[in-house]
Chain A
Amino acid sequence: MRHFSVSGSAVAMVGRSAHILTLLPDELILRIISFLDEETDRKSFRCVCRDFYRLDSLCREHIRVLRLDFVESLFSKLGSLTSLDFSVCPRFDDAAVAQLFSHSSPPCIWTRSVRKLTLARCSGLTLRGLGVMVKNCVSLDSLDISYCYGLGDLEATALSCAVGLRELILDQCLNISDVGLAKIALSCVKLETLSIKWCFGVTDLAVVLLSKKCAELKHLDLSYTKITSNSLRWISKIGKLESLRSLSCGSVDDICLHYIRDGCPSLQVLDISRCDKLSFPALASVVKTHNDLVELQANYCFSEIPVNFICYSNKLKVFSIDGAQVSSPTLKSLGQNCKKLIEIGLGKCRFTDDGIMGLVSGCPDLKILNLTCCYALSDIAICSIAESCKALVSLRLECCKFITEWSLYHLGSCCSFLRDVDLTDCVINDTGLKYLSKCSRCYNIGDNSLASLCYGCRKLQKLIISYCESVTDKGISFLSYLDELVDLELRGLLRFSSNGLLRLVAGCRRLSRLDLKHCPNIDDSGFLAMAYYSKNLQQINLSCSAISNAGLRIVMGNLTCLQDAKLVNLSNVTVDGIEVALRVCCSRLKKLKLAASLQLVISYELINILEAKGCRVRWI
Chain B
Amino acid sequence: MDPDKGVAADSWSLLFSEMDSDSLYGSGRQFSGLDYPFRAQVSDVNPQAQGSGEKDWDSRTILSNLSFLEKKIHQLQDLVHVVVGRRDYVTDDILLQQQQLITADLTSIIVQLISTAGSLLPSVKKHIFSSERSSIGGGELNHQKDVVLQQSNSVSKVEDQSDSKGFVQTDPVEDHEMKSDDDVDDMESLTPGSYQILQLEKEEILAPHTHFCMICGKGFKRDANLRMHMRGHGDEYKTPAALAKPNKESPPEPVLLRRYSCPYAGCKRNKDHKKFQPLKTILCVKNHYKRTHCDKTYMCSRCNSKKFSVIADLKTHEKHCGRDKWLCSCGTTFSRKDKLFGHIGLFQGHTPVIPAEEIKGYSATLDQQHCNEAANTKVEQPEFKCNLDAIDVEGPADDSTRYASPLFFDKNGSYQDFPPRTQFEDCGSSFSFFTARDGYYAGSSNTE
Binary per-residue interface labels of chain A (92-121) against chain B in the complex, 1 for a CB within 8 Å, 0 otherwise: 011101110111011110000000000000
Q: Which of B146-174 contact A (CB under 8 A)?
A: none
* A135:B388 contact, CB within 8 angstroms: yes
Tell me if A178 counts as interface (CB < 8 A to partner B).
yes
Question: B354, B386, B398, B438: which contacts A102 (Cβ < 8 A)?
Answer: B398
Given A95-B408, A106-B396, A183-B352, decide whether A209 and B344 contact each other with a Cβ distance below 8 A: yes
* A135:B344 contact, CB within 8 angstroms: no
CB nearest to B445 among chain A residues: A106
Which of B21-29, B105-113, B427-435 faces chain A? B427-435
Measured between beta carbons, the chain B residues less than 8 angstroms from A127 are 362, 388, 415
Which of B127-135, B266-274, B280-288, B399-407 faces chain A? B399-407
Measured between beta carbons, the chain A residues less than 8 angstroms from B442 are 101, 106-108, 136
Measured between beta carbons, the chain B residues less than 8 angstroms from A107 are 440, 442-443
**How far does the Cβ of A124 sit from chain B's closest Cβ, in whole Å?**
8
Tell me if B35 counts as interface (CB < 8 A to partner A).
no
Measured between beta carbons, the chain B residues less than 8 angstroms from A163 are 432
Tell me if A132 counts as interface (CB < 8 A to partner B).
yes
**How far does the Cβ of B262 sit from chain A's closest Cβ, in whole Å?**
36
**How far does the Cβ of A290 sit from chain B's closest Cβ, in whole Å?**
28
Tell me if A46 counts as interface (CB < 8 A to partner B).
no
**How far does the Cβ of B140 sit from chain A's closest Cβ, in whole Å?**
46
**Bound Cα distance A205, B391 (Å):** 34
* A154:B351 contact, CB within 8 angstroms: no
Measured between beta carbons, the chain B residues less than 8 angstroms from A102 are 392, 394-396, 398, 400, 403
Tell me if B338 counts as interface (CB < 8 A to partner A).
yes
Tell me if A30 counts as interface (CB < 8 A to partner B).
no
Question: A135, A153, A183, A212: which contacts B434 (Cβ < 8 A)?
Answer: A135
Q: Which of A177-216 contact B (CB under 8 A)?
A: 178-179, 182-183, 186-187, 205-206, 208-209, 212
Given A103-B400, A209-B345, decide whether A132 and B351 contact each other with a Cβ distance below 8 A: no
Determine the main DSSP class of B at the interface with A: helix
Question: B341, B406, B409, B438: which contacts A208 (Cβ < 8 A)?
Answer: B341
* A106:B443 contact, CB within 8 angstroms: yes
Given A98-B394, A102-B398, A131-B386, decide whether A178 and B403 contact each other with a Cβ distance below 8 A: no
**Bound Cα distance A209, B354 (Å):** 17
* A205:B388 contact, CB within 8 angstroms: no
Tell me if A415 counts as interface (CB < 8 A to partner B).
no
Q: Which of A212-227 contact B (CB under 8 A)?
A: 212
Measured between beta carbons, the chain B residues less than 8 angstroms from A101 are 391-392, 442
* B354:A154 contact, CB within 8 angstroms: yes
* A99:B403 contact, CB within 8 angstroms: yes
* B351:A182 contact, CB within 8 angstroms: yes
Measured between beta carbons, the chain B residues less than 8 angstroms from A612 are 406
**Bound Cα distance A127, B409 (Å):** 12
Tell me if A47 counts as interface (CB < 8 A to partner B).
no
CB nearest to A212 among chain B residues: B345
**How far does the Cβ of A176 sit from chain B's closest Cβ, in whole Å?**
12
**Bound Cα distance A186, B439 (Å):** 20
Tell me if A310 counts as interface (CB < 8 A to partner B).
no
Question: A105, A132, A160, A208: which contacts B391 (Cβ < 8 A)?
Answer: A132
Tell me if B384 counts as interface (CB < 8 A to partner A).
no
**Bound Cα distance A205, B403 (Å):** 40
* A153:B341 contact, CB within 8 angstroms: no
**How far does the Cβ of B118 sit from chain A's closest Cβ, in whole Å?**
71
Measured between beta carbons, the chain B residues less than 8 angstroms from A99 are 400, 403
* A136:B392 contact, CB within 8 angstroms: yes
Binary per-residue interface labels of chain B (407-448) against chain A in the complex, 1 for a CB within 8 Å, 0 otherwise: 011000001000000000000000111101011111100100
Tell me if A138 counts as interface (CB < 8 A to partner B).
yes
Tell me if A55 counts as interface (CB < 8 A to partner B).
no
CB nearest to A95 among chain B residues: B406
* A128:B391 contact, CB within 8 angstroms: yes
Measured between beta carbons, the chain B residues less than 8 angstroms from A126 are 366
**Bound Cα distance A130, B344 (Å):** 26
**Bound Cα distance A205, B341 (Å):** 7
Q: Which of A153-174 contact B (CB under 8 A)?
A: 153-154, 157-158, 160-161, 163
Tell me if B201 counts as interface (CB < 8 A to partner A).
no
* A98:B403 contact, CB within 8 angstroms: yes
Measured between beta carbons, the chain A residues less than 8 angstroms from B443 are 106-107
* B351:A103 contact, CB within 8 angstroms: no
* B438:A135 contact, CB within 8 angstroms: yes
CB nearest to B442 among chain A residues: A106
Measured between beta carbons, the chain B residues less than 8 angstroms from A134 are 434
CB nearest to A153 among chain B residues: B354
Measured between beta carbons, the chain A residues less than 8 angstroms from B396 are 102-103, 105-106
CB nearest to B350 among chain A residues: A186
Would you list 27 pairs from A and B whose C-beta atoms are within 8 A, ordered by A residue? A95-B405, A101-B442, A102-B400, A102-B403, A106-B442, A107-B440, A107-B443, A126-B366, A127-B388, A131-B388, A132-B388, A132-B391, A132-B392, A135-B386, A135-B389, A138-B436, A138-B439, A154-B354, A157-B354, A158-B386, A158-B433, A178-B341, A183-B352, A187-B431, A206-B341, A209-B341, A612-B406
Q: Other than the known A93-B406, A132-B388, A135-B389, what 19 A-B pairs have Cβ atoms closer than 8 Å?
A: A94-B409, A102-B392, A106-B446, A107-B440, A108-B442, A127-B388, A128-B391, A131-B391, A132-B391, A134-B434, A135-B386, A136-B442, A161-B433, A178-B341, A186-B351, A186-B431, A187-B431, A187-B433, A212-B345
The 5 A-B pairs with the shortest beta carbon distances in the complex, nearest first, are: A107-B443, A131-B388, A161-B434, A205-B341, A99-B403
